[in-house]
Structure 1
Amino acid sequence: MPISYQEQANLTCPNCGADVVTAIWLILDAQEQPMAVEALQRGELNRVVCPQCGEGGPAGAPLLFHDGAARLVIFAVAPGMAEHEWRDQARDLHALLVGSIPEEQRRPYLADVDIAQDLAGVARHLARQQRRRAAPPAEPQPVDTPAVPPLLVAVTALLEAGSPDDLQRVLADHPVLLESATDLTLAQLADVAVEQRAYDVAESLQQARQVLGQMGQVHPPIPSETELPAAALRALMQARTPAEVQALVQRHPLLLHPQVDRLLAEEIDHALDSGHDRLAAALEERRETLVVLRGGEQSISVDLEAALEALLCAQGEAAIAEVLDRYPFLLDDIAAQALDQFVAEARASGDEELARDATDCRAMLRRIRDELAG
C-alpha cells in the first residue's frame, strides 16, 4: 500500500476566473516520490498553472511529509488556516499516514510531528538536514587530564607531613600555603564539603587550616599595607565567636590597626563579587567585632577569661556582686556569647558539672540584665 497520497482539487484561477482541476500532494513519502521531494526543495511542489491564462501560484493546500530513513514527519500548514482547522487536518492526514504503514514497521518517531508554517519551511528543514549529513564528522578532541590544582597538591603534602622537618619542607616547597587567601579558600572548600556530606574531606581541610595557623604563629609574617598577615587572617577566620576574636587580638595586636579594617573591607567585597556570600558574612561579623575592640573595649578581651573564671568560682551573692563590680562587662552580650561557647565546650569534653555551673551563671546574668533593664 503506497504511503504518498494525492487528491484531485477543483480550483478557480484568481486571475481569469477559469476552473482548474489538478492533482495535489497531501502526503508525500520521501522514499516513494524522490522527484516530488526535489520539486518541494525547488519550491515547485503543489504549484498550479492556469491552462487559460498561464498564471501560476501555490495551491494553498496542507502537506504531511514523511521520511522513514531520517525518521522524520513534518506537517506544513495551509496558508490562512485557523489553528483549530489545521490541527484537524494534521490529525486526519497523520491517521492516513500511520494507517498506510504496516503495523510491524511503525516506529515511535511517527508520533513526533514537526510543524512548518508552509512548504518553504519544510524545504528549509530538509536543506539543514542535508548540510548536516554532508558535513564531515568532527574529529574527537583529545581529552586532557585536568591538572591537579597546586593548592590541593600542597594541602595533601601538608597532611602527609610526619614531623616538624617535613612541615618545614612542605612550606618551603609550597609557599602558597602561607598566603592570606589560602585560609579563605580552605574555609570555603570545607563548607562545600559539609554541604555535600563529604565530612572526611571537610575534617581534613579544617585540620590543614589548624596546622597552617600554628605554623603562621611560629613564622609571623611581616605586616603589609596591602595584604592582611596570613597567620592573623587564618586565625581570624577560625575564631567562631566574638570572645575568640577578642582573645585572638592578644596574640595578633596588629588586627587593631585601622589599616586592617580597610583590608577586611576589600576581602569582603572580593568575596561578594565572587559569589561567596557566606564567607563575606563571616568576615563582616569578625570585622564588626574588631571595630568594637578598636573603639576602646580592648580591655574586655584581656580580662574576659579571668572574669568568667572568677564568676564560675564565686560562691554566694556577695562574691558574685564583687565579681560584677570588678568586671562590669560580664553583663554585656559578649560575655553571654562567651558563656554559650564555654557551655558547649564543657559538654563536648564530657564535663557536665562545669556545663551546669556555666549554664546557671548565664541564666543569672540574664536575670540581672533584665532587672537592670526593667
Structure 2
Amino acid sequence: MPLPPMPTQVRCPKCQASFVVEVRTLIDVGEEPDLKQQFLRGRVNYAKCPQCGSGGMMSTPIVYHDPDKELLISYLPPELSLSADQRERYVGSLVNAVMNSLPPERRKGYFLQPRTALTLDSLFDAILEADGITKEMLEDQRAKVRLITMLREAAEDEETLSKLVEEHRQELNYEFFLLLSNAIDADEEAGDQEHADALRGLREKLLDRVSPAMPAAAPEDATYQDLIDMLQGVEPGRVWRTTIALNRARLDYGFFQALTSKIEAAEAADDTDTSKALTELRERILEEIEAQNRMARDAQDKASLLIMELSEAENLEAAVREHRDGLNDVFVSLLARYQEIARAQNDVARAEKLGTILETVIDVLDEDLSPDLRLIHKLLLAEFPDGTDAVLEENRGLLNEAFLASYDQYVESVKDREDEKLLEHLKQTRSRIVAKISILRA
C-alpha cells in the first residue's frame, strides 16, 4: 500500500498567507508509477499560494524508490541542518516503511545500501541515468532550460529579446522548440496556465525571428536524386532520425541502388570527396534503419507480453492504470493489429476481449493528453483524406509551427516500429497539416 502524502500547513514567503500543501517524503514509483514523471517535472511537493499565485517546489526530505531499476535514494536538504544521527534515523524509518510494504521475496540487496543524493538535481540525474540518459544529454537539456528562462525574462523587452536571439541563434534549433513545447504542455497539465501562456507567447515571438530546420518528407514526385540531396543536408541528431522515419518507405532497394551508382561514378571520376561523403551518407542511413528496426523488435516484444498480462487481468481498468508507463503507441498499434487478426480468423470472443482492452487503454490515455497530443490522436483515427481535413478544420486554432514540431516528435517516437502503413499515413497526414498551416498564414 502506498504511503499517502501528509497535509502540511505552510506560509507563503511572498505574501505571508497560510495554506495547506500535501507533502510526500516517500516516492515509491513501484506503488504509484505516475509519481515518477510528476516528480521529475517538479510537481511533487509543489506549493502554490492561493492568495498571490507564487509557488515553487518545497525543500523537504525525500526517499525515492524504483524497484524495477533497483533504485533507493535519499535526499535531505542541507538547510534542515540535521545531525548525522538524525539523518540516519529519518532515512532508516522510510526505508523500513518501503521494505515492510513488500513481500520477503522482493526485498533485495539494494535495500541494505541506499544511495544518498547531495542535491535535488543529483537525485534527478540518478533517476534519469537509470533510464539510459547520459550526463552529456542532461547538461545539454539544462543549457536549453537556462536559455528558455533567459529568453522568457526578456520577452517583454523587444530589443533585448532580439539581441539574445542573435547571440543564441544556433541554439534555437528544432530540439530547443521541442523542449519549449514540452514545457508548455507540462505547465498546462499542472494547471499553471499563466506560466504556460507566457511560454507560448515567447514561442510565437521566437518563431517570428527564427526558422528552425524541421524534419521533412520528400514530395510524392521526388526522385532518388532528390532524396539523396535532401538527406545530405540533414545534420545528425533528432532531425536526422525523424527525417529517416518520415521517408522510410522511400528508402528501398532502388534508392540504395541509385546511391551506390553515384558512389561508383564518383570513384571512377577520381572525385574522392564526393565518393567519401556519399559512402558516409549510405552508412548513416543503414545504421539508423537498423537502429529503428532493433528498437521496433524490442518494443513489440514488451508490448506483446503486456497484452497477454492484461488479457488475464481480473480488474482490467486497474491493471491498465498499473501499467500506464507501458501504454505507448507501439502497444496500441500492436493491440489493434491483434484485434484485426482475430476478426479475420472469425475468433469473435478474442476480438471482443482485445477490443475491450483497447477501449479501456484509450480512455485512460485520453485523460492526460495535452491539446496537441489529443489532436494527433484524432488524426490517427481519422480516415484519410476527408476525415483528416475535417479534423484539421475543427482544430485550426492549434495549427502552427509549434504543433508541427509536436507532430514530428510523435513521428520520431514511432519511427522504431516496422509499420510501413502507419508511417505512410503519418507522412500523408503531415502534408495535409503543412498545407493547412500555409492556407491559414495566407
TM-score, with length taken from structure 2: 0.28
TM-score, with length taken from structure 1: 0.33
